[in-house]
Structure 1
């Protein structure tokens, strides 16, 4: 199998592991384990808490000491062990601790997955910006397949979803050791304190445009996991009113339309970056999030079913235009010697600080609009839509950027 094929397998498995539980576990904890919105939000916030430091630390280790593909394998094996144990847990305190351990070792693998892909493609002389998105799209396919496996197996409210994720994580951990070597860079570093600690990527904050980008990445990162956390619980709330509806019977399949949409939008990224540049692409993402939440607020499994479907479709633009385009923007801004650290820093700001705040605050919002076991989901979703609308209004005024269309996407992703 050529390198593209091997990276496709890696990306497929990377997100299959996550897709097996990320969307459905919120419903499992609320409906089956009877956790509160705040408890569920805090457990999902462990991904953000872990991302505050683990992706950066692992990125530094990959840049300086240990092959990235080996770290990828080690992290997945440890994460798999944690998920096997989590499947038997029913109390909040233990679940929080175990999922924090899993998050500490899974979240760095997203950046490592990108770094290994970039390094392997560059080693073969393959254009990263042109060929990585079609490879990365298989990660989304893996996520969708995992969701369908859990839904059709009727495991969305069962701990079996965690066993499925753990088993696939173990397989990926072993597979990672067979990937082409991605050794640490041998470029000599300076004598500064940041260089000594391997925190060179933080020099990117010295560039005003990059600093502003990272700050908004943090604010938008707070919105990334909200529908993943509470989406299925929201759909399950319609069980009494629409017991025979497709949405209630197959919530994971309905939610998977979001990831299917990703597979389409991710392929458009080279065109949109070249045509419009990172600033407009980010604006498209932000306002797509406004629609994502707003359509949830007015949708239902009956006459509002089309609104739910439209919300799933718009998710592809909301997520990909921020997450993938942002990763490519950071790659172009960073020196090759800090590639893994820069990706880790991007993860820290989005899936770290942003996701942690988003998990905690969204849990508070859900509990604020909850009386007994009745949740005012429309007010909840509209509150989130209002938050992202504010981001969309402010962003174009503070992110200074002038796009100059170029012959290739890599040039177009750079600012003037």
Structure 2
């Protein structure tokens, strides 16, 4: 097998492991184990908690002491064991702690997977900028494939999704040890935890535009967790009113349109950034979130299926125009000396603090509008849409940034 194909398989499995449970576990926890909204939100907040520090910690381990491919392999093997344990747990408190441990070992592997890919491509004489994106896209394919398998095998409301994910992680953990050696680089020996966490980029908060940007990034990061946590539970709630519809029979197939849309909207980012600049692109993203939640509020798997499909499609714009475009904005705005730290800070605010707020906050809202176990999804989604709308109304006035094409052109 050629080195590109080996990397494709590794990237495919990296996100296959995650896609096996991330979108479907909400329905399992709420519908089968009867967790409350707050308890489900707490499980999703583990992704944010782990992202606050573990990628930096294991990144330093890979930079200084142990080959990156070995850290990647060990992390997935430990994660596999924790997923097997999680599949046997029904207590919400114990489940939270096991999934927190799992997140602490899974979240760092996203960056480690990229590191192994970069080093391997570079050693084999490839241009990373050109060679990696076509490889990375197979990660999204893996995520979607896992969702489809879980759905078609009927595991979306059972612990089999965790067992399946555990076996996938086990395979990837073993496979990672067979990848080409990616030893620590001497030039990175002095990289500190402070730098890895992005904390030395906190100087950017002295600039008003960057402070506002990071502040809104945090709250948009929270929006991402809402549908991850409760999209499956929402569709599952139509079992009594629309039992034979496609959206109820195959909710993960329907939700996977979001990931497909995500891969397509990535291709439009250069055009939109060059044409409109980051401020307008961010505004588009925020109002796309309003549409995402609003369409959920008025849609259903029956006559309103087209509204749900529209919500899935608009998700790609909501996610990419904030997450990918935001990263590019940071890359262009900061000095070369702190670019890596600034990207770490961006990830800290979105996938760390933002994910924590989104996990806990969405759980509280869901519980607030739950009576005798019945969730008022229409009101819940309208509250989330209002949340995004408030951000959209404030952002244009708070973010003072004049677009100059010569400074922000993305090719």
TM-score, L = length of structure 1: 0.88
The 5 A counterparts of 1:302-317 are 302-317=302-317
Post-superposition Cα deviations, 1:359-390, rounded to whole Å, max 9, x if no partner, equal: 11111100101111111101111111111122
**How many angstroms apart in 2 are the aligned matches of 1:347 and 1:94?**
28
User: Paired residue for 2:198?
Assistant: 201
Structure 1 contact 115–343 (Cα < 8 Å) conserved: no
SS in 1 for 2:241: coil
What is the alpha-carbon distance in structure 2 between the residues aligned to residue 116 and residue 273 of structure 1? 30
Give yes or no for the alignment of 1:109 onto 2:106: no
Call closer, same or farther: CA 1:288–1:122 in 2, change over 3 Å: farther
Is 1:126 aligned with 2:123?
Answer: no
CA contact (8 A) 1:141 1:263 kept: no
Greater Cα shift, 197-206 or 389-398: 197-206
Tell me: CA distance 1:332–1:228, structure 2 relative to 1, closer, same or farther (3 Å): same
> Is residue 63–residue 340 contact of structure 1 (8 Å, CA) maintained in 2?
no
Change (3 A) 1:235 1:319: same
Q: Which residue of 2 aligns with 1:46?
A: 46
Task: Give the whole-Å Cα distance in 1 for the aligned partners of 2:183 and 2:276.
Answer: 35
Q: CA RMSD in A?
A: 2.8
Aligned to 2:240: 240
In structure 1, runs of 5+ residues without a counterpart are none
Change (3 A) 1:12 1:405: farther
In structure 1, distance between residues paired with 2:242 and 2:55:
42
Q: Distance in 2 between matches of 1:411 and 1:69?
A: 35
- Structure-1 separation of matches of 2:185 and 2:342: 14
- Measure how far apart 1:118 and its partner are: 4.4
- Counterpart of 2:326? 326
Distance across 2 between alignment mates of 1:299 and 1:93: 33
Question: How far off is 1:66 after superposition?
Answer: 3.7
The 8 Å contact of residues 274 and 405 in structure 1, kept in 2 or not, is answered as: yes
Q: TM-score, normalised by structure 2?
A: 0.89
Deviation, 1:335, is: 7.4
SS in 1 for 2:89: coil
Listed one character per residue, the Cα deviations across residues 219-268 of structure 1 (whole Å, up to 9, x for unaligned) are 11111121111111111111111111111111111111111112211233
Q: Aligned with 2:361: secondary structure? A: helix
Hey, what does 1:144 align to over in structure 2? 144
Matched-pair contact (CA < 8 Å) for 1:56–1:348: no
Provide the C-alpha distance between the structure 2 equivalents of 1:45 and 1:196, rounded to a whole number of angstroms: 23
Q: Which residue of 2 aligns with 1:412?
A: 409
Give per-residue Cα distances to partners, 1:265-299, cap 9 Å, x unaligned. 12333443444443333332222111111100110
Structure 2 match to 1:167 = 167
